[in-house]
Structure 1
Amino acid sequence: MIDILNSFKSLIKLEQVNIDNNLFKLHYKFTVIMLIVFSALLTSKQYFGEPISCDTDDKDRKQLIDMFCWMHGTYIVNKGRNNNILPGIFNEFDTSSEDLKNHTKRLLDKISVQPKDEIIWQKYYQWVSIMFGLQALLFYLPRYIWKHWEGGRMELLVQDLCGPLVPAEWNKETRQRLLKYLMNDNNGHRLYALHYSFCEILNLLNVIFQIRLMDWFLSGHFSLYGLTVGTIQNLNPMDKVFPKVAKCSYYRFGVSSTIENRDALCVLPLNVLNEKLF
């Protein structure tokens, strides 16, 4: 992780010539560094171990089942979120005869055991670190565009003033030439200002896009996440968005070559960190 952070020294070091303001720097310095650190933390097995670990009856196939559940995603059952022991883990039917009949009918009709609106899939889980990396690139993009358009013009104009000592050549005549250039080339300066304003607007549009992107990434739970935290008293809303324990369903052949629907209980350790980062 230290090697990864060392590669971003250029983002941390102070620049002698500023071509943007502090708000602009929050986008391409502070936010980008923060997102890169988040991504590095989530990919570090040194602190969190394996990203998923499933408990199942098929002990001989544990590694295979872990990989299957990692690739295909896990889920929780919404009406089981009030379970004090394992929130989101819900028995798919009780022992009443009516429920057994309904359950059997659903199996025969090859219909999902749970109603569609009661299952919350955790499809985002394996993509969080990649998403943080993509967000870092998007936050740096306006800076990259502005630096390309700026072309080092400001640094060229004040390069003799960047050192601790002002050279003797920087006399009144030199200052007059610089002022004359700044006052006469109005078209070039106007274009310079328009380019900078465009990049500032691009920063704003990027923030709006990031909110929409996160809302889509978390299946609509991001934009109203703060309001949900304030309204729910008895349950932890983070267990709905970032559950620590979830279910995973898979199929296997039985002893008589019948396809069996099996499930596993999976621990998602990275969600301990995800709920804090988001």
Structure 2
Amino acid sequence: MLQQFVKSLTDDRPTFVRRHDDNWVDRLNSRATVILLVAYAVLIGLAQWVRKPISCWFPKNFDIIHREYLHAHCWVSPFYYLPYTEEIPKIEEDNKRRLILYYQWIPWIFMTQAMLFWLPSAIWHWLSERSSLNTEIILDMSQKLNSTKKLDKKEQRLELLTKYFDYFLTQKEDIAIREKYPSGRWLVLSYLFIKMLYITNILFQVWVLGLLLKTDYRKHLINYLNYHYDVNTTADGQVWNSPIFPRIAFCDYLIRDLGNKRRYTAQCVLPLNIYLERMYMILWFWIALLLMLTTADLVIWMLRVIIRADRLHFIWNQLGEASQVSCEEIDERMTSSFLDHYLRQDGGFVLRLIAQNTSAMTSADITGRLYLIWKSRHLNDVIEEVGEI
């Protein structure tokens, strides 16, 4: 899975940034958020490597070797936060320690979050490739058609695309998925499932971050804003030391000396938390925005699937803008039959994706050419039936 994720960032095929078989809300989840989280992981990873991620204060009688050892010990051991008003807890008082479990693992946490945001997109590509309509190929061909300037080349690509589209729309029961979903809804149902998966991922990440950071981030955000916009606290020079992203933490360690155990407590500065706090503030706002946008987008697509009049209106508008279809050729009964018996749910869905990822003229030309292909075949069938009578 990790290898496939890394490959999607660097592959020359139309994947990751170059794929267009989804809409802009999906790309905010699977691309923009992934880029943001990977950038976070790289920045924090470099910061941990270039500078000291932890700096601890020790008793003055410790020599350099002792200090290096204890720095390493504190780095691999959990820190804990303690307000200045409280006494250092005893060894057996573990419940009084607010452990900081994330600090050493932040780059890996960011990368894991990035993979989780990328995963629904990978599942969608896997599902769409197993449909009779391969959205990756059709959308890629539509993008090339949209960018073509020469008329003869454009006509050639339009002809090739519509023949490819028509071939998969007219396949019969030789495909297992078509047998299972004879109404042509495999792609639509898969896409709605992916939308739900995006929302589930967002809610899951919010829940996991709450467990990891041991906080209600909304309360932390309110406290953070109250502090930084309170004139009295900023004027007095008080230092903001959050219990979630503390600048100062403590580390306990035991040293065996001639059969005795000596307990020491080091006070450590965690400089990266200055940046981590702001990074997660940005991420929290971003995730909240993603949740609203993805939920609204899911509702819109569900309504498009349920309401037939909306799908018919879309096809009607596309045919009205198509250059190769005259107004006399657009018949309400024929258009309804074109939608219900030829395009069906999946064909109409792919045309919507084309309209959202290319220009209105390109999607209208594709729809119009498909309409003419279907109408010609339909009239031939009628003529054959009349001849048999």
Is the pair's TM-score, using the shorter chain for normalization, greater than 0.5?
Answer: yes
Residue of 28, 46, 49 corresponding to 1:44: 46
Residue of 223, 241, 244 corresponding to 1:241: 244
User: Which residue is equivalent to 2:184?
Assistant: 189
User: Which residue is equivalent to 1:168?
Assistant: 156
Change (3 A) 1:132 1:207: same
State yes or no: 1:277 paired with 2:295: no
Structure 1, 153-162 or 25-34: larger mean CA deviation: 153-162
Instruction: Give the aligned residue type for 1:71.
Output: V
Alpha carbons 1:28, 1:143 under 8 Å: kept: yes
User: Which residue is equivalent to 2:269?
Assistant: 267
User: Which residue is equivalent to 1:141?
Assistant: 119
> What is the CA distance between 1:225 and its match in structure 2?
2.2
More contact order relative to length (CA 8 Å, sep ≥ 6) = 1
User: Which residue is equivalent to 2:72?
Assistant: 67
User: Which residue is equivalent to 2:9?
Assistant: 8
CA deviations 1:116-136 (Å, max 9, x no partner) are 34x322122111111111100
State yes or no: 1:198 paired with 2:203: no
Instruction: Give the Cα separation in 2 of the matches to 1:183 and 1:236.
Output: 69
Alpha carbons 2:8, 2:16 under 8 Å: kept: no
Residue of 105, 110, 114 corresponding to 1:127: 105
Instruction: Give the aligned residue type for 2:21.
Output: I
Residue 75 of structure 1: SS of its match in structure 2? Answer: strand
Q: Alignment length, in residue pairs?
A: 243
Change (3 A) 1:276 1:154: same
Counting only pairs closer than 5 Å after superposition, residues 104-123 of structure 1 correspond to structure 2 as 111-112=92-93, 116-117=95-96, 119-123=97-101
> What is the CA distance between 1:238 and its match in structure 2?
5.3
Residue 166 of structure 1: SS of its match in structure 2? Answer: helix
Residue 189 of structure 1: SS of its match in structure 2? Answer: coil
User: Which residue is equivalent to 1:96?
Assistant: none
Structure 1, 133-142 or 44-53: larger mean CA deviation: 44-53
Alpha carbons 1:53, 1:66 under 8 Å: kept: yes
State yes or no: 1:154 paired with 2:143: no
Alpha carbons 1:246, 1:268 under 8 Å: kept: yes
Instruction: Give the Cα separation in 2 of the matches to 1:140 and 1:170.
Output: 32
Alpha carbons 2:248, 2:269 under 8 Å: kept: yes
Instruction: Give the Cα separation in 2 of the matches to 1:61 and 1:275.
Output: 31
> What is the CA distance between 1:178 and its match in structure 2?
4.0
Gap regions ≥5 residues in structure 1: 82-89, 93-105
Residue of 211, 222, 226 corresponding to 1:227: 222
Residue 187 of structure 1: SS of its match in structure 2? Answer: coil
> Which structure has more helix as a fraction of its residues?
2
Q: Aligned Cα RMSD in Å?
A: 3.4
Instruction: Give the aligned residue type for 2:242.
Output: D
Instruction: Give the aligned residue type for 1:76.
Output: Y
TM-score (norm: length of structure 1): 0.73
CA deviations 1:56-87 (Å, max 9, x no partner) are 12232122111211111112213x26xxxxxx
Change (3 A) 1:265 1:237: closer
Gap regions ≥5 residues in structure 2: 1-5, 172-177, 281-389
Instruction: Give the Cα separation in 2 of the matches to 1:193 and 1:6.
Output: 27
Residue of 174, 188, 210 corresponding to 2:205: 210
> What is the CA distance between 1:54 and its match in structure 2?
1.6
Instruction: Give the Cα separation in 2 of the matches to 1:246 and 1:134.
Output: 26
CA deviations 1:162-216 (Å, max 9, x no partner) are 2413243745x98488458548877373011111110110000000000001001
